[in-house]
């Protein structure tokens, strides 16, 4: 169903269905938005914007607070829907709901600290800085965090006084509809949020529409690159891209091998490797203990549980059949390039999109393949010095996350200053990112508009004024 101007409507575009990736059973079906419905959503948002931006901040916050109270009341249902549509295991789904609940407080703090009103004396004048909303912002959500990440854009956008058109992933329509229903139940005025199902054609129509004011996108590098090219024709519109990464994890000068292996394992394979911050490349010193560490990682990976009823259940399926094909093809490409399979990933189970983890040694590979593989695959590279480790960490066009595991704190000081990434962690997973901190990457991982705590920055634009005190 679509949600336009406060009403639920059947889509009039192409038919599509949603499936449970654990079984590939159909769990939802509906239709994309038609061109007319896209226009109707934009017009609805345009009318709503005039009213929403002009009501008091306190009135907006009252509704937003109500939404988050409903999220808390319905957290078990949300968790179950996330599991149903993404295949995430229970702890992973619970974690997403928890991150979502923290979003309001973090977004409100960011709004006040980064986009509030300020003034200062300028001789006989006063310098005043205000912030104003953009207008209609299109939020394009991903499948891997279908509740948390869209609200990472929606909440700061609404606080600032914007209105939203939300286009979720085609893989997670149920979570999206439940989320929008909660916004409806919270009392959000009609037109302030609209929900459109659709493929890239719907996104393109929203991007080009003369009444929309920007795109807030979370997703793949390829889709983000296409959007970046498209939006170059519209410099008057804000574009915030949170893309993927080919993230390095360096292990250097540590005797805590068991702890290191646990961090590597979670960094690489949590959420079945379907997090943009997952470690994709493991960089190790060319010494005997590194081989032992890789062997430990291999054994952990072999013993992963795929039965959701098991207390040791760690990760679920990939999101789709196409994702399985991409995973296996990428693995084959690495091996053809000279990679050595320490552990070869395989399609497992007769139903569902389950694959086993892959570990590929690329140290002696003839070709460097710099791509993000959204799945449970980690590449190994052995180097002879810490400087070489940093060089290898930077051997990518991406720059989202990176990590160092070491007993030497001084090495991290060097690492954090020389490695190009937006999230750089020490002695913890590469996937650890705080909602009270900025989140985003450099290079091909984004367009230098970090989300998280800094989402407030792209949800409002500054207006500088000089006021003569004597008139």
* pLDDT tens, residue by residue, 240-297: 999 999 999 999 999 999 999 999 999 999 999 999 999 999 999 999 999 999 999 9
Which of 402, 403, 397 minimizes the C-alpha distance to 446? 397
pTM for this prediction: 0.95
- What total number of domains does the chain contain? 2
Report whether pLDDT(310) > 80: no
> Quick check: is 276 catalytic?
yes
- What is residue 140's predicted lDDT score, i.e. its pLDDT? 98
Which of 144, 22, 25, 169 minimizes the C-alpha distance to 92? 144
Q: What range defines the domain where residue 189 resides?
A: 2-243+446-468
Q: Are residues 221 and 285 in the same domain?
A: no
| Assigned domain for 124 exists | yes
**Which parts of 142-203 are beta strand (E)?**
163-167, 193-195
Which of 76, 420, 364 minimizes the C-alpha distance to 247? 420
Q: Are residues 64 and 137 in the same domain?
A: yes
Q: Are residues 218 and 276 in the same domain?
A: no
Largest Cα–Cα distance of the chain, in whole Å?
Answer: 80
What is the Cα–Cα distance from 93 to 59, expressed in whole angstroms?
Answer: 31
Calculated CA dihedral for residues 218, 220, 225, 227, nearest 10 degrees: -40
| Assigned domain for 439 exists | no
> Quick check: is 278 catalytic?
no
Determine which one of 89, 96, 242, 266 is catalytic: 242
Q: Are residues 332 and 406 in the same domain?
A: yes
Helix then strand count (H, E) for the chain reads 14, 23
First to last CA, the chain: 56
Which of 330, 260, 329 minimizes the C-alpha distance to 296? 260
Residue 188: CATH number of its domain: 3.40.605.10
**Cβ atoms within 10 Å of 243's Cβ, excluding its own:** 26
**Cβ atoms within 10 Å of 28's Cβ, excluding its own:** 17
Q: pLDDT, tens digit, for every residue of 49-98? A: 999 999 999 999 999 999 999 999 999 999 999 999 999 999 999 999 99
- What is residue 350's predicted lDDT score, i.e. its pLDDT? 77
List, in order, residues 6 or more apart from 95 with CB less than 8 Å away.
Answer: none
Determine which one of 276, 278, 392, 459 is catalytic: 276
Q: Are residues 146 and 251 in the same domain?
A: no
What is the Cα–Cα distance from 104 to 67, expressed in whole angstroms?
Answer: 10
Q: Are residues 191 and 47 in the same domain?
A: yes
- What is residue 331's predicted lDDT score, i.e. its pLDDT? 98
Report whether pLDDT(309) > 80: no
Which of 442, 453, 306, 427 minimizes the C-alpha distance to 376? 306
Q: Are residues 236 and 269 in the same domain?
A: no
Report whether pLDDT(116) > 90: no
Q: Are residues 305 and 176 in the same domain?
A: no
What is the Cα–Cα distance from 191 to 131, expressed in whole angstroms?
Answer: 23
Residue 354: CATH number of its domain: 3.40.309.10
């Amino acid at each position: 169903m679509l949600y336009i101007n406060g009403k639920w409507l059947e889509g009039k575009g192409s038919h599509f269905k949603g499936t449970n990736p654990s079984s590939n059973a159909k769990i939802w079906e509906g239709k994309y938005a038609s061109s007319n419905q896209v226009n109707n959503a934009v017009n609805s948002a345009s009318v709503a914007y005039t009213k929403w931006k002009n009501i008091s901040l306190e009135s907006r916050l009252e509704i937003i607070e109500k939404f988050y109270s409903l999220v808390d009341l319905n957290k078990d249902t949300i968790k179950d829907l996330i599991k149903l549509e993404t295949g995430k295991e229970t702890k992973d789904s619970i974690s997403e709901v928890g991150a979502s609940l923290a979003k309001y407080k973090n977004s409100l703090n960011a709004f006040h600290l980064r986009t509030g009103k300020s003034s200062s004396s300028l001789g006989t004048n006063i310098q005043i800085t205000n912030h104003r909303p953009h207008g209609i912002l299109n939020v394009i959500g991903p499948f891997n965090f279908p509740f948390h990440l869209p609200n990472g854009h929606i909440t700061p956008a609404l606080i600032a006084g914007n209105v939203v058109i939300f286009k979720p992933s085609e893989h997670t329509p149920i979570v999206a509809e439940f989320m929008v229903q909660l916004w409806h139940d919270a009392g959000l005025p009609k037109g302030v949020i609209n929900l459109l199902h659709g493929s890239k054609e719907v996104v393109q129509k929203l991007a080009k529409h003369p009444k929309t004011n920007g795109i807030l996108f979370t997703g793949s590098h390829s889709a983000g690159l296409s959007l970046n090219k498209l939006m170059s024709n519209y410099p008057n519109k804000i574009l915030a891209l949170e893309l993927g990464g080919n993230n390095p994890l360096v292990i250097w000068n540590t005797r805590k091998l068991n702890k290191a292996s646990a961090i590597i394992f979670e960094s690489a394979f949590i959420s079945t490797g379907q997090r943009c911050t997952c470690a994709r490349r493991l960089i190790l010193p060319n010494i005997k203990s590194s081989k032992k560490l890789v062997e430990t990682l291999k054994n952990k990976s072999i013993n992963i549980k795929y039965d959701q009823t098991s207390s040791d259940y760690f990760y679920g399926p990939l999101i789709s059949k196409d994702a399985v094909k991409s995973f296996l093809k990428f693995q084959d490409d690495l091996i053809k390039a000279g990679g050595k399979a320490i552990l070869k990933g395989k399609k497992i189970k007769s139903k569902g999109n389950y694959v086993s983890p892959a570990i590929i040694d690329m140290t002696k590979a003839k070709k460097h393949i710099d791509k993000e593989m959204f799945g449970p695959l980690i590449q190994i590279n052995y180097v002879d010095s810490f400087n070489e480790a940093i060089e290898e960490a930077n051997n990518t066009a991406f720059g989202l996350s990176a990590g160092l595991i070491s007993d030497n704190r001084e090495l991290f000081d060097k690492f954090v200053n020389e490695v190009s990434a937006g999230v750089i962690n020490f002695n913890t997973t590469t996937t650890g990112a705080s909602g009270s901190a900025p989140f985003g990457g450099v290079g091909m991982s984004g367009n230098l508009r970090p989300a998280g705590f800094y989402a407030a920055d792209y949800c409002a634009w500054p207006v500088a004024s000089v006021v003569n005190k004597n008139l």
